[in-house]
Amino acid sequence: MSPETATKRYIETIGRRKTSVARVRITAGGKPSITINERTLGEYFPTRELQAIAEEAVKKSKVAEKFLITARIKGGGIKSQAEALRHGISRGLVEFDLELRKTLKKMGYLKRDPRTKERRKFGLKKARKAPQWSKR
């Protein structure tokens, strides 16, 4: 962390999706950028689609991009990590400006998507798939 970031006020939030967890720090002022696990947004999310998902909350809230965003992301796949990051950024933006809540909530960025993989049960091959049944 640079000395310039350490002196400024920041908000820390957590965004989640499936098994991905994103710890997001949003700092007001400074050079606007998004850093994930010590890498830039373009390095961490190689495709334009994933980059767009991660940036959606900032772009759609029509906030002048004046935030320095750093994140630590663990677990899950790359797409769920992008959505977890979007969730964390949305929560942080609402803490900075309560007026954004209405906009972000309408778009569904403040809702934690609860859909996760169902656990495997014993005696079954997967969560619900049973072994082939034979009469004799």
Domain 3-107 listed as CATH 3.40.640.10: no
| Strand 39-40 versus strand 33-36 pairing type | antiparallel
Q: What is the pTM of this model?
A: 0.84
From first to last of its 136 residues, what are the pLDDT tens digits of the chain? Answer: 455 544 568 899 999 999 999 999 998 877 888 999 999 999 999 999 999 999 888 888 877 668 889 999 999 999 999 999 999 999 999 998 898 899 899 999 999 988 999 999 999 999 999 999 999 8
Residue 115 exposed, middle or buried by CB count within 10 Å (0-12, 13-18, 19+): exposed
Domain chopping of the chain, boundaries: 3-107
